[in-house]
Copies of this chain bind each other. A is one copy, B any other.
Amino acid sequence: MDLRFDEKDYLACCGSTRFAKEMALASPFASLQDAISTARDIWFNKVDVYGWLEAFSAHPQIGGTRASAPTTETSAQWSKGEQSTALATATGSSLQELYEWNARYREKFGFIFIICASGRSTDEILAELKRRYSNRPLVEFEIAAQEQMKITELRYAKLFSSRANGSSTPDK
């Protein structure tokens, strides 16, 4: 395989401009695994703290649909898919509690709560949010970046499988 995508495809997977540029420069990739190891190296060793914050702001808050920064249609659709378990298990009161804790989290840390939500219920997400809330800001910043990388990896898998299937639009 010889896999190459546009900068905008990488940007839909992770909203840091620098990261997307570096991924485009590093392509083509021999495999999904090759792309993921390159991505980890770039994300943790080369993207600066502003790049991390830029990527975080491309997500809607958990339980929401709108990101604070402009984002792509693909990214918005993926977010919706990733939160489908959470939304299916949500009750009115758990969503209200999630909303309140999101606000509290953002007030403390300055960025939204980032979690790889795929397959997780609203209750699990809420418990994780409350647990992580007690972290000091720098620790939480690194955990958020690790969660962002998990999200990016899942999205790359979708992106690469769409190419392998010969489809021009990634599966949602």
Partner-B contacts on A (CB < 8 A) = 44-51, 53, 108-111, 136-138, 141-142, 145
9 A-B residue pairings within 8 Å (CB atoms): A44-B138, A46-B137, A48-B110, A49-B49, A49-B109, A49-B110, A50-B110, A138-B138, A138-B145
Cβ contact within 8 Å between A49 and B137: yes
Cβ contact within 8 Å between B109 and A48: yes
Q: Label chain A's interface by main secondary structure.
A: helix
Cβ contact within 8 Å between B136 and A138: no
Cβ contact within 8 Å between B136 and A44: yes
Chain B contacts for A110, CB-based, 8 A: 48-51
Cβ contact within 8 Å between B137 and A47: yes
Closest B residue by C-beta to A51:
B110
Cβ contact within 8 Å between B136 and A45: yes
Cβ contact within 8 Å between B138 and A108: no
Chain B contacts for A49, CB-based, 8 A: 49, 53, 109-111, 137-138, 141
How far does the alpha carbon of A142 sit from the alpha carbon of B45 in the complex, in Å?
A: 14
Chain B contacts for A46, CB-based, 8 A: 137
How far does the alpha carbon of A39 sit from the alpha carbon of B45 in the complex, in Å?
A: 30
Chain B contacts for A142, CB-based, 8 A: 138
Residue of B50, B137, B145 touching A48 (CB-CB under 8 A): B137
Chain B contacts for A50, CB-based, 8 A: 53, 110
How far does the alpha carbon of A108 sit from the alpha carbon of B51 in the complex, in Å?
A: 11
Chain B contacts for A45, CB-based, 8 A: 136-137
Chain B contacts for A138, CB-based, 8 A: 44, 49, 138, 141-142, 145
Please name the 5 residue pairs, one residue from A and one from B, whose CB atoms are nearest each other, closest first: A48-B110, A50-B110, A48-B137, A45-B136, A48-B109
